[in-house]
Amino acid sequence: MTERAKLPDIDDVTLMLQARDDNEAAFAELVRRHQKKVLNYFTRTGVQYDCEDLVQQTFLRLYRYRKRYVASAKFTTFLFLLARQVWIDELRRRKRHQRLIDELSAEALAGQPAPMAVHSAVAGSMDLAQALASLPEGLRQVVELGVYQDLPYEEVSKILGIPVGTVKSRMFNALKKLREFMEKR
């Protein structure tokens, strides 16, 4: 029996502990098991173009931090915590990039009024994904992790670094906003 055939029977924590000891097959199995979940996480958090790149960055970071892994929580908690950090880093990078563009535009258009950003939504054409994308980041992440990734509130709490009560109230508020939005449509 090959090593690949044995791996599907092993739980994630054991695979990660093996990956920590430089077992490449164990790490490859973790990637195979969880890459679609991480891709869905980024898709539902509002990433439109760079989902695959962010998934790759998440697993590269997981590989880089494998020696630091301690099995104190479920593996998926650790994985989604890394994915969230990758997303935060990407948002920061985008803000820096946009600030640079704005500064360069301001220099190029010295003396001319700056162009206004236009935000429009076509009434009735937003689907649930767009409604989710319109939620504030904190509410959207709670829905993504709690509903779409099917994680319990305790894990969502650990991943986001907020109390369980805050997770519950954010979930309540997010679902209320989504319900109101869908009723208007």
Supply the pLDDT for residue 119: 30
Tokens standing for 175? 């679902």
Fold held by 1-113: Rna Polymerase Sigma Factor; Chain: A (1.10.1740)
In terms of C-beta density within 10 A (0-12 exposed, 13-18 middle, 19 or more buried), how is residue 16 classed? Answer: buried
For residues 90, 149, 167, 54, the Cα torsion angle rounded to the nearest 10 degrees is -10
In terms of C-beta density within 10 A (0-12 exposed, 13-18 middle, 19 or more buried), how is residue 128 classed? Answer: exposed
Global pTM?
Answer: 0.63
Domain boundaries, the chain: 1-113, 123-185
* Distance between CA atoms of residues 147 and 175, nearest Å: 10
- 10-residue mean pLDDT series, the chain (185 residues): 61 93 94 95 83 94 90 90 91 73 56 37 49 86 85 90 94 86 74
CATH level 2 (architecture), domain 123-185: Orthogonal Bundle (1.10)
Supply the pLDDT for residue 115: 41
* Distance between CA atoms of residues 17 and 37, nearest Å: 20
| CB-based contact 153:169 (threshold 8 Å) | no
Instruction: Examine domains 1-113 and 123-185 and report if their fold is the same.
Output: no
Count the Cβ atoms, other than its own, within 10 Å of residue 54.
21
